[in-house]
Structure 1
């Protein structure tokens, strides 16, 4: 099932093992413990940065597709990448 009207290469990946589809990474509790002691503004910035990185990795560094997925304009998205020192070419 494609997200839009056009099927892209992201929808055509069939050989991903079932265990690869399971979310891995830190539990929500350990994530919150890592943010403990930070001001709210810092916590939100860290979460926003990680969401952007995750989405860029998922879209193989494709900025336009990531901005669309996150429902951001490209200019605003580029501003956020600059703020968090994110280089999409490194995520391809």
Structure 2
């Protein structure tokens, strides 16, 4: 289901609302699993809260979808995405 459909229909239809919640939970679970995997192999800092970060990623994804559809400046989107993802990166050793 797209972000637009979720926004327009979920507040009016219980079945759609449940579907949106289920879809978001599936995405959160997948992101959390990948974050934990990254923590285990050292590519994601161990201090990152996998569940909270997964929830934030799913929420931000909807906003990015809307921004792309609204033709927001790509440089602005890239800057925002890089800032959002920075805490997930392990600092490079010099």
Q: Tell me if both proteins adopt one fold, taking TM over 0.5 as the criterion.
A: no
Q: TM-score range by the shorter chain?
A: 0.3 to 0.5
Q: Kindly indicate which of the two structures has a greater share of residues assigned to helix.
A: 2
Q: Whose RCO is larger (CA < 8 A, sep 6+)?
A: 2
| TM value normalised by structure 2 | 0.32
Superposition TM-score, scaled by structure 1 size: 0.32
